[in-house]
Amino acid sequence: MSASGAAQAPEGRSDSRLSDGWAALINEGMQLMSAGTPLQALACFKSAAALRPGHPRTLAAQGAASLRAGLPGEALQVFDAILKSDPNNVEAWHGKGLALSHLGDQGAALAAFRSAVKDNATAWASWRSIAELALEEEERINAVQATADALSHICRSTAASPRLHVKCADALMHAHRFEEASDFIIKNGSRFPDESTAYDRLARTRYRLGDFRDAFAYMTEALARISPGKIPASPAKATFSQDAAIRALCEIGDLLDAHGVPFFLAAGTLLGFVRDGGPLAHDRDVDIGIFEEQPGMPDIFGILRAHPAKVLPPSARPGDRYLAVRCQGIAVDIFLHDRSQGAVSFGFSHTPGDIQWRLAPFGLTRVRFHGRDWMLPDPADHYLSGLYGVTWQSPDPGFASVISSPALSDVSPYARAYYCVARARKCRLTGQHDKADALLAQSPISLAPDLCLQASSEDREAKNP
C-alpha cells in the first residue's frame, strides 16, 4: 500500500467526519446567537458553509447572523444566493426583506415579503413585516389579519412553541379580535410559557373589550403568579436615554412641522422640560399633544404610517384617540386633545370608563429649549397642576397619572386599579420593588396584602418551594 493510500480513511468515514464537523459548527453558532454574540456565530456559520457549499440551511443561518451583526449588505448577498437555487424559499425571501429594510429600501423589502407569503399563508413573520411597511391602509389591515390567521393555524399543532402562543394572542389583539383572543388564551393557557404570561394576556383582552372589572382580576392573577425565579432582587439598569428622547422628539417634531400639524409638549415631557429643562430621567417615553379638528388638519395617522423611520403598532387604526409610535428606539405617545364642553380632554380610547383626563381650557405659547422653539400649554403651571396636582414641582417617581391624576374624569375605578397592577407587575419583573409597592398602594380597589408589600427573597422561596 502506498503512503498516500495508508493515509486515506475507509470509504464513507470522511463524509461522516465532515458531517460531524458541520453539525458541531452549526450547534456552536446557534448557541452563540442565543448568547447574543452574532459576530462569533457568523464565523461558525461561515466555516460550516465552507464544509457544505450552497447548503440552504447553513446559508440561512449565515444570513440571519449577518443581520444580527449589523451587516445587512452581506446578509442580502447570502439570501440572494439561496434564492438563485431555490426561488420559492420562504425563509430566504423573508431574510432578504429584512436586509433590504435595514438598507433603507422599503419598497424592495415590501416586495420581498410579498414573495414570502405568496404561496405560504402561514409565513406569519412576513405578514407582520408587510403590516409594518405597507403604505395603503387596506393592505396593512389585511396583513395584520393574515398574521393572526397564520399564527392561529400554527398553534393548532401540538408542536407549536409557548412563544408562538403568546405571539398568537398578541396578533389576535392587534387584529381587534379580542373575544377570539380571550377564547384562545382560555383554551390554550397551559401551553403558554407560564401562568403569569397567560393571565397577563387574558387581562389585556378583557381591558380592550371594556370589561375593566375582569381585566383587573386577571391582571391581579398575573402579578400573583410570577415565578420567583423571574423576580430580580434589584432594579435592572435604566434604558431610557434623555438625549435619545430629545432626538426622537425633534424628529417627530420635524415631521409634523413639515406637514403643517401644530403640536405641543404634553404630560410628562412638558413636566420634565418646565421643571428640569429636559425629559425626566425616570421617564419611559415622550408625550406630544395635538388639538383635534383644526381647520385643514392633515391625516396624522397617514403621515406617521407613511414615514419609513416611524413604527406604528399593528393595533393602530385611523380615528384612534391615542397613537403610540416608535422613533429611534424611543416610544412617542401622541394624544389627540378635544376642545369641547368648556374643557380639554384626552385619553387612551373612546371606550366609556377608559383612562381619560379633563383639564381647564388652555392656549399655547412658544418657548425655547435645547436650541429649538417648542409649543407649550399656556399657562404651563396651570396645566401641570391640573394634571399632576399642586405639588408638581416636587419629583415623585411613584406618581402615575393613569392612577392618581386629579384630572382623571369618568374613569372606571377598575381601569385605574388595572393599571396599578399592570405597571406594578412590570416593576416586579425589572426589580423595581419599591415602585411596584408604591403603585399598588394607590389602587382604588382593595388588593391582597401579600401583593402590596415587597416580599423578601426568603419569603418568596418559602411560598414557592
pLDDT tens-digit readout, 46-72: 999 999 998 989 999 999 999 999 999
What span, in angstroms and rounded, lies between the C-alpha atoms of 40 and 29? 7
- Indicate the pLDDT class of residue 231, thresholds 50, 70 and 90: confident
Mean pLDDT, to the nearest integer, of 140-157?
95
pLDDT tens-digit readout, 396-416: 877 889 999 999 999 999 999
Mean pLDDT, to the nearest integer, of 253-268?
90
Beta strands in 342-435 (DSSP E): 343-347, 356-359, 363-369, 372-378
What is the model's pLDDT at position 460? 39
What span, in angstroms and rounded, lies between the C-alpha atoms of 119 and 105? 23
Is pLDDT above 70 for 35? yes
Give the helix/strand (H/E) hosting 323: strand 322-327
What is the model's pLDDT at position 178? 97
Which residue type, as a one-letter code, is found at position 44? C
What span, in angstroms and rounded, lies between the C-alpha atoms of 63 and 102? 13
Q: Is the peptide bond before 10 cis (omega within 30 degrees of 0)?
A: no
Q: Specify the pTM.
A: 0.86
Mean pLDDT, to the nearest integer, of 192-200?
97
Cα end-to-end span (Å), the chain: 68
Is pLDDT above 50 for 229? yes
Which residue type, as a one-letter code, is found at position 161? S
For 395, the grid coordinates are 419629583
Is pLDDT above 80 for 241? no
pLDDT tens-digit readout, 109-147: 999 999 999 988 899 999 999 998 888 889 999 999 999
Give the helix/strand (H/E) hosting 289: strand 286-291
pLDDT > 70 in the chain, percent: 91
Question: C-alpha distances in angstroms, 66 versus 45, 84, 274, 311?
Answer: 10, 19, 44, 23
- Of 398, 395, 358, 357, give the one whose Cα is nearest residue 271: 395
pLDDT tens-digit readout, 265-320: 999 899 888 888 877 777 778 899 999 876 667 788 888 877 766 777 889 888 89
- Indicate the pLDDT class of residue 459, thresholds 50, 70 and 90: very low
Mean pLDDT, to the nearest integer, of 430-454?
84
The answer to whether 105 and 132 have CB atoms below 8 angstroms apart is no
What is the model's pLDDT at position 59? 93
**Residue with more model confidence, 352 or 134:** 352
Is pLDDT above 50 for 2? no
What is the model's pLDDT at position 61? 93
Question: CB under 8 Å, gap of 24 or more: what pairs does 56-61 form?
Answer: 56/82, 56/85, 56/86, 56/89, 56/92, 57/26, 58/22, 58/26, 59/92, 60/89, 60/91, 60/92, 60/95, 61/26, 61/29, 61/30
| Degrees to nearest 5, angle at CA 254 with 248 and 256 | 105
Mean pLDDT, to the nearest integer, of 218-235?
89
pLDDT tens-digit readout, 7-30: 333 344 445 555 678 889 999 999
Least confident of 76-85, 316-325, 448-457: 448-457
What is the model's pLDDT at position 329? 79
What is the model's pLDDT at position 407? 96
